[in-house]
Amino acid sequence: MQHTLDEATDPWGVKVERVEVKDVSLPVSMQRAMAAEAEASREAKAKVIAAEGEQKAARALKEASDVMAESPVAIQLRYMQTLTTISAEKNSTIIFPLPVELLKAFIK
């Protein structure tokens, strides 16, 4: 662009240092293509961000499970905390899952 401007203005002794574009008219088809490209780029970035979030959540769950695996009491406390949360929501039914080992004692 600079070369083209220099060719046109050098015979007059004028040097163009800066050009400002105030208005650009694009064909509708090009506008649509640019919009589609921008949308695809945004969607791709959103997918990457979502995947990173899933990865962080999976790591946090693994760490939590490792901590809970070290102590059966931690699992019981988490279970009680979950029941407290459920009961605070004013649900009419709460299901208490029991370990199968406890039921075997009653079956015999």
CA 60, 65, 70, 74 torsion-angle sign: positive
Reply yes or no on whether the pLDDT at 5 is more than 70.
yes
On whether the pTM is more than 0.85, the answer is: no
For 68-91, write each residue's pLDDT tens digit.
Answer: 888 878 888 888 888 888 777 776
CA 65 → CA 74, 78, 79, 102, distances in Å? 10, 11, 13, 23
